[in-house]
Amino acid sequence: MTFNLYVLQNQWIVATLLAGIALMLLFCLTYSAMWRPKEEEKKAEEIEVKGAGSFLRAFIAVVPWAIILVSLASAAYTITSLVLRSLMPPNW
């Protein structure tokens, strides 16, 4: 019994395997590049945390502004929503 694989007959199998290998290589390279320390992170590692002020400076140096603003807006919405709902409880 032989394994007959004709490239022209089963070209979709070969194309799928090549695309899968390319995507896996791209994923592995992106993953390794994503976790490599950046320049800001290298600077942030030099900061010694000895209190609230230095913690805030180190936190701002590492975390992007977009994530900080979204977190603050989410916390503000949660607090105001809870306060408004507690002022008007449901009428059952």
Q: pLDDT tens digits for 33-83? A: 777 767 766 766 676 778 888 778 777 877 888 888 999 999 999 999 999
Structural contact between residues 63 and 44, judged by C-beta atoms closer than 8 angstroms: no
Confidence (pTM): 0.42
User: Using CA atoms, how far apart are residues 61 and 65, in angstroms rounded to an integer?
Assistant: 9
Structure tokens at 22: 């390319």
What is the pLDDT at residue 2?
A: 55
Q: Distances in Å between the alpha carbon of 32 and those of 25, 29, 44, 62, 79?
A: 11, 5, 20, 18, 39
- pLDDT at site 1: 47
Q: Half-sphere exposure (CA, 13 Å, Cβ side) for 20?
A: 6
